[in-house]
Amino acid sequence: MELEVLDSIPVELDFLEVMKGLRQRKAMEACVRELLDIVRPVVNPKAVYKVAYIDSRDGDSVCIDGVTFASHVLKVNLDKVERVFPYVATCGREVDEIAVPPDDIMKSYCLEMIKRRVVGTARSYLEDYLRRTYALGQMSRMSPGSLADWPITQQKELFSILGDVEALIGVRLTESFLMVPTKSVSGIFFPTEVKFESCQLCPRAVCEARRAPYDPQLAKKYRETA
């Protein structure tokens, strides 16, 4: 099966764009400029993905490349799909290892926001790369832990499909199934006719990472298929 590492992902860290993400807080400008001067020479986001195929579907689970994932929502989303793209993307160890004084809360916050922008760029680049390389149309993605229906413990199964992710792109799983570097993302890309975001099924009122509004009718539809 095809597995590929992307380790030459271009990333632009424009000062004004970074400040927009921080809501242009004036007090942070000098801090952001200083950090960008440190980050730009070393930044090296990476991603790894695999072309994988659905083996079987059974109840509320789906088997991909011999690995079983227990998620009703994932199973429904992949009902008409045969080929999927498990992935991990990261801001990279190079940026993650930049040290800031532990008592400098502002600098720590700004660096975290910069790293978030870097990993977001890596995931977007991977999505565009998949679309170009495999002549795909619209795609959606799901990630372990994004919904209670697909628990974060299934990070272990996802990583097993990709092999030694730490050796490939420097990302490891902790005992609690979190990723290090923390500004890393994982999941499964899949082709879809109707765009899907896990946020549509999550009623949590306050979430800065929300990408789509909660859709109670869509949530009801998924429950009815259970």
| Token duo for residue 87 | 């992935």
> Token pair 């970074």 is at which residue?
18
Please state the separation of Cα 100 from the chain's center in Å.
25
Percent of the chain with pLDDT over 90: 77
Is the sign of the CA dihedral 114, 203, 150, 225 positive or negative?
negative
Q: Is the confidence at residue 210, as pLDDT, over 90? A: no
Rounded average pLDDT over 101-123: 94
Least confident of 29-38, 57-66, 189-198: 189-198
Residue type, 118: V
Residue 88: CA atoms inside 13 Å, Cβ hemisphere, count? 30
Q: Which fold has domain 3-192?
A: NADH Oxidase (3.40.109)
Domain extents in the chain: 3-192, 196-226
For the entire predicted model, the pTM comes to: 0.89
